[in-house]
Chains A and B, each alone.
Chain A
Amino acid sequence: QKEVEQNSGPLSVPEGAIASLNCTYSDRGSQSFFWYRQYSGKSPELIMSIYSNGDKEDGRFTAQLNKASQYVSLLIRDSQPSDSATYLCAVNPPSNTGKLIFGQGTTLQVKP
């Protein structure tokens, strides 16, 4: 079992729709969770961090964390073509010091 799992996609949504990106992790003691956006040929850009169960909203982005289910998700409301990118889920598990474990990333395509 991979430590952090994401569906590679592509996930295709129409412009204006809600995009839902999901991530599961294996280390139940993990405490810190991050979502990065990476455009093709560019570096990862941090868009959300979440540490507590529940929802965290920032503009059109909402991160959701459920530690009991070992599940973290990212919702993008009113999706725009400019949101088309690969979204990387990253976890800082307690068994790894100073290290981020990345999922494989989900490619999102927002169609006009």
Chain B
Amino acid sequence: DTEVTQTPKHLVMGMTNKKSLKCEQHMGHRAMYWYKQKAKKPPELMFVYSYEKLSINESVPSRFSPECPNSSLLNLHLHALQPEDSALYLCASSQDTIRAGAEAFFGQGTRLTVV
């Protein structure tokens, strides 16, 4: 089973709203990731959590706030987003951080539209 579950699948939010994206995996993976993907572009890394600690922040604006409550869950809190933040947000997990060669599996993504 290589399932990573993301909710919601679609989200429309106003620029003054606060919302959260959720990601869950039950594979015992200890590394979890948030990626952002714009149309016709490859995924871009935003954050990496390794053993529930934030290990990489790719200079992401503070309006995006990640949280890892436990080893199975990863959240992305959104506040005061801009229309240009509209994208597909992808969660991924791997057995360990990718530097160890572990394969990363992606969730189905959340299609976010900021209006």
A contacts, CB < 8 Å to B:
31-32, 34, 36, 42-46, 49, 51, 88, 92, 94, 96-100, 102-105
Contact = CB atoms under 8 A, between A and B. Distances in A.
A44 B106 contact: yes
A44 B43 contact: yes
Given A42-B109, A97-B97, A98-B98, 4 more contacts: A44-B106, A88-B43, A96-B99, A99-B45
Given A32-B98, A92-B99, A43 B56 contact: no
A9 B42 CA distance: 14
Contacts of B90: 43-44
Interface of B: 2, 31, 33, 41-43, 45, 48, 50, 55-56, 88, 90, 97-99, 101, 103-109
Contact of A98 (B31, B88, B107, B108): B31
A42 B109 CA distance: 8
Nearest to B49: A98
B43 A51 contact: no
B43 A102 contact: yes
A92 B109 CA distance: 22
Given A43-B90, A44-B43, A105-B42, A100 B101 contact: no
A92 B98 contact: yes
B90 to A, nearest CB: 6
Given A104-B41, A105-B42, A43 B97 contact: no
Q: A34, A49, A92, A100 — which one has the most chain B CB atoms within 10 A of its CB?
A: A100
A104 B104 contact: no
A97 B105 CA distance: 17
B99 A43 contact: no
B22 to A, nearest CB: 15
28 contacts: A34-B104, A36-B106, A43-B90, A43-B106, A43-B107, A44-B106, A45-B106, A46-B2, A46-B103, A46-B104, A46-B105, A46-B106, A49-B101, A49-B103, A92-B98, A97-B56, A97-B97, A97-B99, A98-B55, A98-B98, A99-B45, A99-B56, A100-B43, A100-B45, A100-B104, A102-B42, A102-B43, A104-B42
